[in-house]
Homo-oligomer: A and B are copies of this chain.
Amino acid sequence: MRRDKHFCRAERRHSVMDMKILLIGAAGRLGTAVGKALTDRGHQVLGVTRSSGELRYDIADPAQVTALYDAAGDVDAVASAAGDVPYKPVVDMAPENYESAFRGKVLSQIELVRQGVSRIAERGSFTVITGVLGRDPIPTSSAASMANGAVEAFVRAAAIEIAPQRINAVSPTVFTESLAKYGDFFPGIQPVDVAQVAQAYVRSIEGGQTGRIYSLG
């Protein structure tokens, strides 16, 4: 029996175990772990970075998000492990620092979703990154906290509009692998192995939940 190309594509899109996944921030510590976890699960990962590899895009620029989707073609899921925010005491911040956090972690990931709704599979998913500082701040984290709170509230809001597409956030505490560098900023706070954080992406992408914030650590 002949299966036409369209049918085969539709079938692929709905398979849990063989998805084409766009991974933003693929070269970072988290992105590398997420890429490995997804590849180990049999998925095809298209890694996106700002400065190396084939897909070089800065998602802080909405126009580059458009270009990225144009280049990537059909995908089943989008996973973001990218977000830049400045750290300073509130009184040392400038308005531009908060704007930078908004563009670098909030608008960037919102644009992945907003533009992605018409691009990804009918039952595709978005998984974005936030972090513990949204709920448990540390000194100098006001821009990071603001950004994480913004993204998590957006996830809850977008989830009820984009179904049957799904959206979740992964919100880890400090990575065990980063304790040497950042541990002093998280006194007494339980770290989490980056491989465990990567599994939250697997859970989000292969599972059925939406509008969830997966807190780790």
The answer to whether A146 and B110 touch (CB under 8 A), given A102-B102, A160-B139, is yes
One of B95, B152, B158 near A90 (C-beta < 8 A): B158
Per the bound structure, the CA–CA distance linking A141 and B137 in Å amounts to 25
Q: Check if A117 sits within 8 Å of B137, measured CB to CB.
A: no
One of B91, B156, B162 near A117 (C-beta < 8 A): B91
0/1 string, A74-92, CB within 8 A of B gives 1: 0000000000000001110
0/1 string, A93-116, CB within 8 A of B gives 1: 101001100100011001101100
Q: Which residue of B lies closest to A133 (CB)?
A: B157
Per the bound structure, the CA–CA distance linking A142 and B141 in Å amounts to 24
The answer to whether A146 and B150 touch (CB under 8 A), given A98-B107, A118-B91, is yes
Question: What's the tally of chain A residues with a CB closer than 8 Å to chain B?
Answer: 45
Per the bound structure, the CA–CA distance linking A2 and B1 in Å amounts to 103
Q: Check if B139 sits within 8 Å of A114, measured CB to CB.
A: no
Question: A residues touching B (Cβ–Cβ < 8 Å)?
Answer: 62, 89-91, 93, 95, 98-99, 102, 106-107, 110-111, 113-114, 117-118, 133-142, 144-154, 156-162
Q: List 24 A-B contacts (CB under 8 A).
A: A90-B113, A90-B114, A90-B117, A90-B158, A90-B161, A91-B114, A91-B118, A91-B162, A93-B114, A102-B102, A106-B146, A110-B142, A133-B153, A133-B157, A134-B149, A137-B153, A138-B160, A142-B154, A142-B158, A145-B156, A146-B153, A146-B154, A146-B157, A147-B153
